[in-house]
Amino acid sequence: MFLEGFGEIITNVLTVNPELSGVESASAILDTSNYTFNAITYGKDAEGFNFHAHSVSTIQTVDDSEVVSGYNDDQVLLVNYGGTAPFVSSYSPSSTKLQFSSTYQSVPAYPAPNHSRLELTSTQTTNASAFSATPPNLGHYTNAWVDSTLSNAWTILGGFAPPSGAGKGFYVVNSAGTYLTSGILSGIYNEYSLADKNGYVKISEFIGAASATVNNDLSSGPLICSGGDLSAAKGTIGLAVVPQQGDATTLAMYGGVNHIGVYCLDLNAMLASGITPPYSWDALNNNRIYKLVSKVSFWDNLLIHEDPSPVIAGLDTVYNGGLLSNKGPTFLLTFNFK
């Protein structure tokens, strides 16, 4: 759906003074990159930030040989309260919702035109207090791994997997503490510095790809794509969003994805704050200010998955046939500007 914020971006485009092209210090304001899609975020129900893999488990033993106390050694330990077929080696968010049904309101916020964030109520988990960390209240998933003030609590803040060299793992146990499955987390977003500490994933600077190419290379971020196979009518473009490899697995473990937010730069806010273009990307110290311009929301988890047959690690598959351990499911958002 379109939001009021997108209308404001269009107004900015139509009202910016073209005479700025003759002012060397201000000509960069006219650059078209300031007015296109620049970032996306992932979100879920607000109270979900205190459940799923976010809660420090009291289970000590995950099998007969290895002991994990809470989140020691930076390993994610999550409890699959279902723990029965067909979710023996998967993680089912619905089982967690059922387990805590008396205290867990799991319905995501329905979108409205005046929303400026994905979830309006607080997404500041209280489970990070044991780690002396103050998590942000952003309305969507943060990227604690790259935030030095939160990196010691990345296992309960979730969102994005560490890069491949980190070698961090996850363990899935049932409610009795019996080992179900495990694996190594390795994400694309932190591998290629595509997500900043606030969870904004930059959109690829490669623009104009046909939709048939969206699975070829997403290591530069979500793709703005266009072409005859997307729509026969002019004025329609698509945005291909693919949570890949360990990022898809991590998002699934932490309760999944119910929202995808699309953002443009809030040029007026940045100029008012003295932040002038060009606006380069820096995952560790990103000073860009974003405006939510489109919010896609679903009652169901977009990363829902199940164990295949014969049973293997269920976190490797999703219902729509995409592989969480490979490219992940592809979400193609279509915008019609006619």
- Rounded to whole angstroms, how far apart are CA atoms 129 and 145? 17
> Which tens digits make up the pLDDT trace of 268-325?
899 999 998 888 888 998 999 999 999 999 988 888 876 666 555 566 555 444 455 5
Q: Under DSSP, is residue 111 helix (H, G, I), strand (E, B) or coil?
A: coil
pLDDT digits (tens, 9 = 90+) for 248-262: 888 988 999 999 999
Distance of CA 72 to the CA centre of its chain: 24
Mean pLDDT is lowest, of 51-65, 129-143, 163-177, for 51-65
CB 183 within 8 A of CB 170: yes
Q: pTM of this prediction?
A: 0.87
In which element (H, E) is residue 6 found?
helix 4-15
Strands 223-225 and 259-265: unpaired
User: What does DSSP say about strands 168-174 and 76-80: parallel, antiparallel, or unpaired?
Assistant: parallel
Number of domains in the chain: 1
Q: Which residues pair with 297 in a beta bridge?
A: 259
Nearest-angstrom CA–CA distance, 44 and 108: 6
Compute the C-alpha angle 82/87/91, nearest 5°: 75
pLDDT value, residue 107: 92
Lowest mean pLDDT among 81-90, 109-118, 129-138: 81-90
Q: Which domain holds residue 184?
A: 4-336
Whats the size of the chain, residue-wise?
A: 338
How far is CA 224 from each of CA 25, 238, 254, 264, 335, rounded to the nearest angstrom?
Answer: 29, 6, 27, 13, 10
State what percent of residues in the chain have pLDDT above 70.
76
**Per-residue pLDDT at 59:** 46
Nearest CA among 207, 201, 230 for reference residue 337: 230
Q: How far apart are CA 161 and CA 190, in angstroms?
A: 7
